[in-house]
Amino acid sequence: MTLLRDADLAAAFDHAARSYDTLVAANPGYHAHLRRSARRLGLADGGRGLRVLDLGCGTGASTAALTAVLPHARITAVDASAGMLQRATAKPWPDNVTFVHSPAEHLTRAAGIGEAYDAVFAAYLFRNVAEPDSILTAVHNLLAPHGRLAVHEYTLSGRAFDQAVWTAVCRGLVLPIATALGDGRLYRHLWRSVVDFDTADAFADRVRAAAFDHVRILPLPGWQTGITHTVIGRRAAGSEARDVSR
């Protein structure tokens, strides 16, 4: 199947926004895993005085994880889907959270984005963009020196067993429910986007190539071991920002 990209993907997420939270709630550990990945940023004192970018915030699950782990940070949450953001902004949030409607590809032009961030958190984003290397470069440019990155993503281990488990869960549970809700096209994309995307090791190599150091791959527990990982890194000392504006 052809993967959805750009405006087509945003439109599919717009349509699925109404049932998205219900579907992810059926995933054991979904919210706990996001909080674990947020803690892996390693930011002290609840993020007091720090600016954090939540890239690809969707309906706000990753934003909620960040506010739980970093209650004192200023959090800017960004997503390309207006429908997902509408769901996110309808929820109660503390005053230190701001939402911005923007594709990840156009961060340098988005209102409210411009100062250097101390950390960037990206959950379930990179396999859904056409040019992940370009987005990594943009993230690098947005980070302050030694700023931290945590990518929470379905990145398979490379073992055939883990791909088989992912496919079995999608075909046996997720796709039938999503199809009944009218969102089968999006969730077929989401299944295939994981199979076609980097392994965890390959994605970590991308992060290193984008001038991040201290890059590590950390697994998540439960049925998602070998399927979902946190890849963390830090903007390398002395690395220069590159111009990715369009």
pLDDT band at 234 (very low <50, low <70, confident <90, very high): very high
**How do residues 146-174 score in pLDDT, each as one tens digit?**
999 999 999 999 999 999 999 999 999 99
At 28 the pLDDT is 85
Cα dihedral 131, 67, 220, 19, rounded to 10, equals: -70
d(CA 126, CA 79): 13
Alpha carbon 39 to chain centroid, angstroms: 15
Kindly tell me if the per-residue pLDDT of 6 is higher than 50: yes
pTM over 0.85: yes
* Helix, strand or coil, per DSSP, at residue 3: coil
d(CA 97, CA 77): 7
pLDDT band at 245 (very low <50, low <70, confident <90, very high): very low
* Residue 23 or residue 35, greater confidence: 35
At 110 the pLDDT is 66
pLDDT band at 26 (very low <50, low <70, confident <90, very high): confident
